[in-house]
């Protein structure tokens, strides 16, 4: 079983009984090869996730790929156009899970998958291994990411309001502001500055209106 460290990662911690819940990308599709020389392709997890669902099983949530050190459970795992979206819940009565919670809040952790390659599920392309079909065994919280772009986008403490799911926010922003899919992803990846980086900086009424809409979208999603 080989680990694959991925980015970007976005965590959210909910209040009360949801404390310890987080969401992030366990793997991302395409792009440059990781430090292992691998590229995960869209659809790589589809069959594995279907088999888990059929069998009533789920990949383990581990600390640093240690099978003897589970720290919670995965509530959901699903592919979107960007990668494998993972929502998990840390078991806060476990000391290591509590430590992972604190480290994640400080931006010290990323996500990494443990998997096996299905027969015929990999192809060598220009010295990079393209992974087309994987069996997902576990997803770990880790301290070192092989992908140089690995980073935490958003972390909230146990007592902060729940943050909107990144995919829901992206769709809401795209629809409300009339952005293209590319513009919406640019906003998600780099924030306001990334969205307007090619525009002349000003304080026009249009930019003020967009900023106001973004605030309303965020407030609406938090209230769900």
| Structure-model confidence comparison of residues 158 and 136, the more confident one | 136
Do β-strands 2-6 and 110-117 pair in parallel, antiparallel, or remain unpaired? Answer: antiparallel
pTM above 0.85?
A: no
Residues linked to residue 90 through DSSP beta bridges, in sequence order: 72
**Model confidence pLDDT, tens digit, residues 169-189:** 667 666 766 677 777 676 666
Domain positions in the chain are 2-142, 166-222
| Structure-model confidence comparison of residues 213 and 151, the more confident one | 213
**Model confidence pLDDT, tens digit, residues 83-96:** 888 888 889 899 99
**Rounded to 10 degrees, what is the CA torsion of 173, 175, 177, 178?**
130
State the pLDDT confidence band at 220, using cuts at 50, 70 and 90: low
| Structure-model confidence comparison of residues 28 and 173, the more confident one | 28
Quote the mean pLDDT of the chain.
77
Picking from 81, 92, 103, 76, the residue whose alpha carbon sits closest to that of residue 181 is: 81
Q: Would you say 13 and 74 are in contact if contact means Cβ atoms under 8 Å apart?
A: no
pLDDT at 97 over 60: yes
| Structure-model confidence comparison of residues 161 and 170, the more confident one | 170
Cβ partners under 8 Å of residue 214, min gap 6 = 173, 177, 192
Q: Would you say 29 and 40 are in contact if contact means Cβ atoms under 8 Å apart?
A: yes
Picking from 57, 51, 7, 3, the residue whose alpha carbon sits closest to that of residue 29 is: 7
**Mean pLDDT computed over 29-51:** 93
């Amino acid at each position: 079983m080989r680990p694959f460290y991925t980015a970007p990662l976005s965590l959210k911690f909910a209040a009360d009984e949801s404390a310890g819940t987080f969401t992030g990308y366990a793997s991302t599709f395409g792009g440059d090869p990781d430090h292992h020389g691998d590229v995960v392709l869209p659809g790589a997890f589809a069959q594995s996730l279907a088999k888990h669902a059929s069998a009533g099983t789920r990949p383990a949530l581990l600390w640093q790929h240690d099978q003897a050190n589970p720290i919670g459970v995965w509530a959901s795992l699903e592919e979107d156009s960007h990668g494998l979206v993972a929502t998990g819940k840390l078991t806060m009565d476990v000391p290591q899970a509590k430590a992972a919670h604190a480290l994640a809040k400080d931006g010290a952790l990323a996500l990494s998958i443990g998997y096996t390659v299905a027969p015929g599920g990999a192809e060598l392309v220009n010295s990079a291994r393209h992974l087309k079909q994987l069996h997902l065994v576990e997803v770990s919280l880790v301290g070192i990411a092989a992908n140089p772009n690995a980073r935490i986008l958003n972390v909230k403490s146990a007592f902060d309001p729940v943050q909107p799911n990144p995919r829901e926010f992206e769709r809401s922003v795209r629809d409300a502001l009339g952005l293209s899919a590319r513009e919406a992803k640019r906003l998600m990846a780099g924030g306001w500055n990334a969205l307007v980086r090619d525009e002349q900086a000003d304080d026009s009424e249009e930019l003020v209106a967009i900023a106001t809409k973004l605030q309303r979208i965020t407030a609406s999603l938090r209230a769900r």
